[in-house]
Structure 1
Amino acid sequence: MRSQTPPCDDKGLSISPIGEEERDRINALSRRLYTLVPRVRITSLLAEVHRWTGFLDSFTHYRTGETAGDEAALMAAILADATNAGAERMAESSRGVTIHQMMLMIDRHLRNRPA
Structure 2
Amino acid sequence: MAIETTCTTYLDGRRDKVDHEMRKVASLLENDRLSDVRLRNGRLMMTPLPTTVPPEAEELGRRAYEMLRWVRITNLLIEVDELTGMARHFTHLQTGEPVNDPCALYTVLLAEATNLGLAKMARACPEYTYRQLAWIADWYVRDETCRQALASVINAQHRHTFAAYWGDGTTSSSDAQQFPVGGRSAAIGRVNAHYGPDPGVKLYTHLSDQYGPYHSTTISATASEAPYLVDGLLYHETDLEIAEHYSDTGGVHRPNIWHLPTARLPLRTAYSRSG
For residues 59 and 82 of structure 1, what CA distance do their matches in structure 2 show? 16
1:68 matched residue in structure 2: 99
Larger relative contact order (Cα-Cα within 8 Å, sequence gap ≥ 6): 1
2:138 matched residue in structure 1: 107
Is 1:60–1:66's contact at 8 Å kept on the other side of the alignment? yes
Q: Which stretches in structure 2 are left out of the alignment for 5+ residues? A: 1-50, 148-234, 236-275
Answer 1 or 2: which has greater helix percent: 1
Q: CA deviation at 1:52?
A: 2.0
Structure 1 runs of 4+ aligned residues shifted over 6 Å read none
Mean Cα displacement is larger for which, 45-54 or 56-65? 45-54
Cα 1:56–1:43 change in 2 (3 A) is same
1:42 matched residue in structure 2: 73
TM-score normalised over the length of structure 2: 0.33
Q: Trace 1:8-87 onto structure 2 (pairs within 5 A).
A: 18=52, 22=54, 24-87=55-118
Answer 1 or 2: which has greater strand percent: 2
Q: Which stretches in structure 1 are left out of the alignment for 5+ residues? A: 1-16
For residues 129 and 79 of structure 2, what CA distance do their matches in structure 1 show? 22
Q: CA deviation at 1:95?
A: 4.3
For residues 73 and 63 of structure 2, what CA distance do their matches in structure 1 show? 22
Q: Give the aligned residue type for 2:131.
A: H
1:6 matched residue in structure 2: none
Larger radius of gyration: 2
Q: Give the aligned residue type for 1:106.
A: A
Cα 1:58–1:90 change in 2 (3 A) is same
- The percent of aligned pairs where both chains have the same amino acid is 36
The alignment's C-alpha RMSD in Å is 1.8
Question: Number of paired residues?
Answer: 96
Cα 1:58–1:85 change in 2 (3 A) is same
